Amino acid sequence: MKQAEINKLAKYLAEKKHIKFKLSVNDCNTLVMEWHDIRFGTDKLSSILGQYNNVKERIKFSRNFISAETWLTSNGYKPVKSARDGDILVIPTKHYSIAHIVFNGSAQTFQEGAGFVRLNIKSIPKDVYQVWRK
């Protein structure tokens, strides 16, 4: 990413840090899709906004929506071995994947019960996550 995009990402993430978690409004999916829309001038977020309001609906939505990997691939992302600013880090779980945006050595996302969180990437075992870049 060029410096102007890094600055835009920093501003975007700074605006999110005090926002409360809300499924399908302020969660890991919406964070990544909204950033994608800002960066590339698309409107992907509208496809999921307000589509699930509780964990049961989230799991059902995840089963019926394309996988994170398929969404990333179809939107021009490619898997890479190491993470850098602007990459998307995905941690698969039993029912759905948790998406993060990489910035300043951390994986940033919305987490239920905690809000906006930053995880040190070095603290996450490498075999647990995938990194995607466009």
pLDDT digits 0-9 by tens, 40-67: 999 999 999 999 999 899 889 888 888 8
Question: What is the percent of the chain where pLDDT is above 70?
Answer: 100
Average pLDDT on 74-88 reads: 97
State which amino acid sits at residue 132. Answer: W
Q: What is the pLDDT of residue 65?
A: 86
Res. 15: pLDDT tops 90? yes
Q: Which domains does the chain have, with CATH numbers?
A: 3-133 (3.90.1720.10)
> CA-CA distances (angstroms) from residue 63 to 45, 71, 80?
18, 13, 25
Mean pLDDT score across all residues of the chain: 95
